Amino acid sequence: MTDALTDLLDAVARGAISPSHAADRVRALSAPPVEDLGFARIDHDRARRQGFPEVVFGEGKTADHIVAIAEGIVTRGHPLLATRVTPSVWNAISPRLRNARYWPEARVVTCAGANPVPPGSGVIAVVAAGTSDLPVAEEAAVSAEAMGNAVERIYDVGVAGLHRLLAEHERLRAARVVIVVAGMEGALPSVVGGLVAAPVVAVPTSVGYGASFGGLAALLAMLNSCASGVAVMNIDNGFGAAAHAS
C-alpha cells in the first residue's frame, strides 16, 4: 500500500487530482475486494492474502447458495474447492457447474480455475488407521491435491497390526509433511511421529464406540502425544489438515 499511497499523494501535490477525490482514493485503497451476495460476503482478496481463494464449507448451505458462491469464485478465474457436499446436493448443483468434479468418498467438489495453482514442494502423505477413517482422509487428500500438492495415500495401517505400518516405512520417510487420520484411541500419530522427521498433522475422527464420545478420546490422545511435533486439527477436519500442510 505504501507505494500506491505515495504515488497518489504526489498526484495531489501536482494538482493532478483534487484533495477530496484523493481522500476517496485513500479510503478505497484499504477497502477489501469483498463481494456481497446478500446472504454472504465473498472474500476475493483471500487468494492474494493467503495463497488460495476462499473455500466453500458446504455443510448447512443450500444448493442455491453453494452454486451462487461457487460461480462467484469461478468467474474470477479462481479454482473451486467445496467440502462437505452430500450426494444429493451434488446432484442439484452439478448441471450448473459444468467443469466441476465430485469426489464422493471425500464429499468434495473441485473445479480448476483459469489461474493455475502454483505447485507445492514435496509430497504430502495421508495416513489412515482404519477403513472407517477414509472419508476424512480422502477429504484431506483431495483438498491437498486441489491446492497443488502431490499426495501419497497410506490407508488401513492401524497400530494393532504394526507390520502393516512398518511395511510402508519408506513412503512415510519420503514425505515433506504427514497427515495422520485416526479414530478410536488415536494412537497412530504418536507411532508415526516416532518414525519420521517431517512434521505430523493429526486429525481425530468421530469413529469410535462407547467411551469415544464422538472423537473426544482420539482428540485428547493426539494432544497428549509423546512424539514431539504432532499438531492437531479439529475432529473430522480433513480439509484443515490439508490447508495447514499445504
In angstroms, the CA 153 to CA 97 distance is 28
The single residue listed with the C-alpha cell 519420503 is 174
Q: Is 120 helix (H, G, I), strand (E, B) or coil?
A: coil
Q: What is residue 111's DSSP assignment?
A: E
28 binds a second copy (CB under 8 A): no
Within 10 A of 227 (CB to CB), how many other CB atoms are there? 16
Instruction: List binders of a second copy among 49-108 (CB under 8 A).
Output: 49-51, 55, 59-61, 65
Nearer to a second copy, 29 or 99 (CB): 29
Question: Where in 195-214 is the site for a second copy (CB under 8 A)?
Answer: 195-197, 199-201, 204, 206-213
Residues 108-137 that bind a second copy (CB under 8 A): 129-132, 134
**Shortest distance in whole angstroms from residue 31 CB to a second copy:** 7
* Nearest distance from C-beta of residue 120 to a second copy, angstroms: 12
Q: How far is the CB of 98 from a second copy (least distance, A)?
A: 25
> Cα(177)–Cα(231) distance, rounded to whole angstroms?
11
Task: Check residue 22 for interaction with a second copy (CB under 8 A).
Answer: yes
Q: Which of 35, 114, 167, 174 binds a second copy (CB under 8 A)?
A: 167
For 171-210, give the DSSP string.
HHHT-SEEEEEE-TT--HHHHHHTT-SS-EEEEE-S---G
Residue type present at position 222: M
Residue nearer to a second copy on the CB measure, 100 or 179: 179
